[in-house]
Structure 1
Amino acid sequence: MTKQSRNIQAGGRLITILSISAVGGLALAVTSVIPKWAQEFPQLPLAAIELLVTLANLGALITLLFNPWLTRRWGSKRVILVGLLLGAGAGCLPVWLRSYGAIAVSRFLLGLGLGLYAPHGISLIVHHYQGAQQTRLLGYQTGIGALGSTMIMLLVGALASRNWRWVFWIHGLLLLVALAVGRFLPPDRPQSVAPVVRTPLPRSAWWLILLTFWTYLVIWGVQLKLPSLFSEKGFGGAQVTSLTLALMNLGGFAAGMLFGRSYRRWGRHVLTAGYMTAAVTVLGLLLSPNQGLAIMAAVGFNFVYSFTGPYLVVRSQQGLAPNQVEEMSSYLTIVTIVSAFLAPIWWNLLGEIGWGPLTQNVLVWVITMLLLLALIVALVQSQQRRIKRVNRPRA
């Protein structure tokens, strides 16, 4: 193989790995067709209609639990390809389906595919890259995910304006990613030929998994309450909110691109600073007197907060054995999905506690939780530094 061919292969592999993260948000991309589904099935309650969106996440939880075992047995390339092909086929089916039950089954199957390929957006970077390059790419992974969600939302909007059923053709993007995986991703050797001794995850990994859950619960709270906040303050309707959410994703993309440099410069302080500055931006969002400042505060929140996700991913992968990487990646994906499920319940319950309207109460609680997270992380990191100093061998 010539040097040029090796460079093409390496570049294609990198683009392929990042593209897996770019299509991670496809399952929720069809949220905009909920009103159309409600018209299609007027005899059903709205909760049943919304279930058609969340069923994909439910299916993903099942295959996520088995993903480490499947990867050891069949290899990551095969598992990813099956997940992408299953997701593409099942995701496009509602273009033709007319019954509620059939659409529900197709959405569940889409989720099964999502759970097969989504965790490998992290684990492939960990397996194929090391050191500063790995840290930088894990930041890119978050940024590309945000950029991919933005582009998918724009494409969904364009398709929905012509025919709402055409929205489901968006899942055809998974076929393009599958072709790239088949062409550029090197095959890995399945580990089923010999019994695998399962090494339990270290205690620090479970702390990071728990922290990831609360971190994502916060961001879902801000995104869930943004439309009602804009409506209550007269800052604009659905169109302005959609634009703001798209700009927020672009802010997340910018943060992902800058993460590697920030992590090298500030290290552990990135997480604490992310929580604290996010609290300031949410306060700015809550107190904004006009639309422009509110949009700036929302985008600023997503920008500074998008440094926390890559930090947790980088720290969670450090010191793991090779056979623990897929397990850790699966758990991180699981807690992000579970947090999305629980966010409406959690924040609406907390919103009942306070002196203002529900939306404002929720944002006050978000600020409180961000400050608590910053304090807890600072205390834990201080304790860890003291332990290292005590255990450091003396000359």
Structure 2
Amino acid sequence: MHAAAKRTVLQARIAIAILSLNALALSKNVISLIIADLIKTYPEYPVSTIQLIFSTTTGMAVVGSLLCIWLEKRMTLKSMSMLTLISVLAGGVIGFFCAKTSVPLLFLSSVLIGIGMGLITPLNGINIANHFEGAELVRMNAQNSVAATVGSVVFPLIGGLLVAIDWPCVYWIFFLTIPVMLITVIVQPREEIQCLPRKNGSEPVKVKVWSPALICWVIESFFAGLCWMVYQSNASSLFQSLGFENYAQMASYGSFVFAGLNVIAATTLKVLCRKFGKPCMTGGIVLMAIGLFMLAVCKSVSLLWLIFVATAVIGFGFGIFKSASFVFLPITLEKGATSRGFSYFNAANVLGNFLTPYLITSTVARMGGTIYTRYVLSAVICTALSIFAIATQKLKGTEKIAD
């Protein structure tokens, strides 16, 4: 009884550290709020160069995700959390003080913020997999997803208020890493460095990382990230094409719907994982494809309701796919392969986000298409991905989570 109580206290402490860190996971998106101000401040730079200041955070998040593999064997999870927060804080400090004076230093700021943000998701995935199992694993992942979703809604609102003070103040968002550092120092236990299993205490046992299941999930993660970003990056343009003068505000309403369905997906995760098992990830991709096709036909104001329905479908589908992955990856991969599995999965997803302008937007522009063509193309890609996910379900398994 006493041992069980101690484990519960340990899990509670780790949960606090994980949730406070994951709430920051999407805070990098606030940099997009000041792109117009940066363009005005630095007219000598091409617009494409200024836009790269934000894109760099996403690109470097890929590096951060892969860096987690190297760091895990050299640092404790607590030290990795502190390094993550220090990187983001340093980027925020540089961004705030150099916003009006140096574009190169703004790129350095984005590099540091991006690497830190890229570390958060795989780091938390490892932390959860190491300390939770069964129903508690599902519950913790659901709470983790809710924390990230709430942060993705709250931080842009705070960022908008900070921009109203003075646009470089948006970098104050990253100063929130300071209280999270204090939380991490207080509640995150200092554990041993993660080590590969060893045979007879000598050479590390070779761990097979690239199983058929992981290969399939990494492919799905990349294309799901690609298609999700098509929705995310074109929302305001869609409302603008329909004649809405307050298109940015309408897009923000869509973001609230998307985030709300992400939360619902996370809170129903336990039921879905118990009832449907691993195939619920495939179901999430199918829902995304349906939602993207719905958006592709919304060419008149009379179909405004359908835009929000489609947004809800995409939000729920993507939420299920991403949340369930952190339940099923650790129970599918071999011991010692979890960190690399999480890192590859997250890196693929972020890489899909980063390449969307090049693979979708540029392709449609060369075709002479419109914003609706982007949605059609992404819907076709997501449909093909759905077929792939269904066809490879046997390779990934159909296990369910027990009560």
Please give the range of the TM-score, normalised by the shorter of the 2 chains: 0.7 to 0.9
1:200 is aligned, of 195, 208, 229, to 208
Alignment of 1:274-353 (within 5 A): 274-288=284-298, 289-351=302-364
What are the superposed Cα offsets for residues 199-233 of structure 1, whole Å, 9 maximum, x if unpaired? 23123212211111111111111112222221112
Q: Would the aligned equivalents of 2:208 and 2:334 in 1 still touch at CA under 8 Å?
A: no
Moved more, 266-275 or 174-183: 266-275
Q: Would the aligned equivalents of 1:122 and 1:141 in 2 still touch at CA under 8 Å?
A: no
Superposition deviation, residue 384 in structure 1: 7.0
Q: Which amino acid aligns with 1:13?
A: I
- From the superposition, tell whether residues 374 and 109 of structure 1 become closer, same or farther in structure 2 (CA, over 3 Å): closer
Q: Which amino acid aligns with 2:293?
A: L
**Which secondary structure state, in structure 2, belongs to the residue aligned with residue 74 of structure 1?**
coil
Alignment of 1:50-69 (within 5 A): 50-69=51-70
What are the superposed Cα offsets for residues 332-370 of structure 1, whole Å, 9 maximum, x if unpaired? 22112211111111112443587x942112212222223
**Which secondary structure state, in structure 2, belongs to the residue aligned with residue 188 of structure 1?**
coil
What are the superposed Cα offsets for residues 31-64 of structure 1, whole Å, 9 maximum, x if unpaired? 1100111111110001111121122334333343
Distance in 1 separating the partners of 2:119 and 2:381:
32
Indicate yes or no: 2:345 matched with 1:372: no
Distance in 2 separating the partners of 1:157 and 1:225:
20
1:190 is aligned, of 193, 216, 224, to 193
What are the superposed Cα offsets for residues 46-102 of structure 1, whole Å, 9 maximum, x if unpaired? 111112112233433334333223221221111111111221122132222121122
Q: Would the aligned equivalents of 1:20 and 1:118 in 2 still touch at CA under 8 Å?
A: no
Alignment of 1:237-252 (within 5 A): 237-252=247-262
Q: Percent identity among equivalent residues? A: 20
Superposition deviation, residue 382 in structure 1: 5.0
What are the superposed Cα offsets for residues 240-286 of structure 1, whole Å, 9 maximum, x if unpaired? 11232233122212211211211111224423332333333333333
Partner of 1:393: none
Q: Would the aligned equivalents of 2:150 and 2:259 in 1 still touch at CA under 8 Å?
A: yes
Q: Which amino acid aligns with 2:284?
A: G
Distance in 1 separating the partners of 2:363 and 2:112:
34
Indicate yes or no: 2:374 matched with 1:362: yes
Superposition deviation, residue 121 in structure 1: 1.8
Superposition deviation, residue 194 in structure 1: 7.5
Superposition deviation, residue 196 in structure 1: 4.3
Distance in 2 separating the partners of 1:385 and 1:338:
26
Q: Would the aligned equivalents of 1:81 and 1:117 in 2 still touch at CA under 8 Å?
A: no
Partner of 2:198: none
Moved more, 331-340 or 114-123: 114-123
- From the superposition, tell whether residues 247 and 74 of structure 1 become closer, same or farther in structure 2 (CA, over 3 Å): same
Q: Would the aligned equivalents of 1:142 and 1:253 in 2 still touch at CA under 8 Å?
A: yes
Moved more, 194-203 or 215-224: 194-203
Partner of 2:96: 95
Distance in 1 separating the partners of 2:47 and 2:266:
36
Alignment of 1:249-260 (within 5 A): 249-260=259-270
Distance in 2 separating the partners of 1:385 and 1:13:
30
Distance in 1 separating the partners of 2:290 and 2:194:
48
**Which secondary structure state, in structure 2, belongs to the residue aligned with residue 170 of structure 1?**
helix
Superposition deviation, residue 307 in structure 1: 1.0
Q: Would the aligned equivalents of 1:63 and 1:116 in 2 still touch at CA under 8 Å?
A: yes
Superposition deviation, residue 311 in structure 1: 2.6
Aligned-CA RMSD value: 2.8
TM-score for both structures, normalised by structure 2: 0.86
Q: Which amino acid aligns with 2:242?
A: K
Distance in 1 separating the partners of 2:385 and 2:63:
30
Q: Would the aligned equivalents of 1:144 and 1:256 in 2 still touch at CA under 8 Å?
A: no
Indicate yes or no: 2:111 matched with 1:108: yes
2:160 is aligned, of 148, 157, 162, to 157
Q: Which amino acid aligns with 1:300?
A: V
Q: Would the aligned equivalents of 1:82 and 1:116 in 2 still touch at CA under 8 Å?
A: no
Moved more, 270-279 or 298-307: 270-279
Q: Aligned pairs, how many?
A: 386
- From the superposition, tell whether residues 195 and 308 of structure 1 become closer, same or farther in structure 2 (CA, over 3 Å): same
Distance in 1 separating the partners of 2:224 and 2:397:
23
Q: Which amino acid aligns with 1:325?
A: T
Superposition deviation, residue 310 in structure 1: 2.1
- From the superposition, tell whether residues 19 and 191 of structure 1 become closer, same or farther in structure 2 (CA, over 3 Å): closer
The unaligned stretches of length 5 or more in structure 2 are 196-200
Distance in 2 separating the partners of 1:299 and 1:310:
16
Superposition deviation, residue 139 in structure 1: 3.2
Moved more, 196-205 or 128-137: 196-205
Indicate yes or no: 2:164 matched with 1:144: no
Distance in 1 separating the partners of 2:11 and 2:392:
39
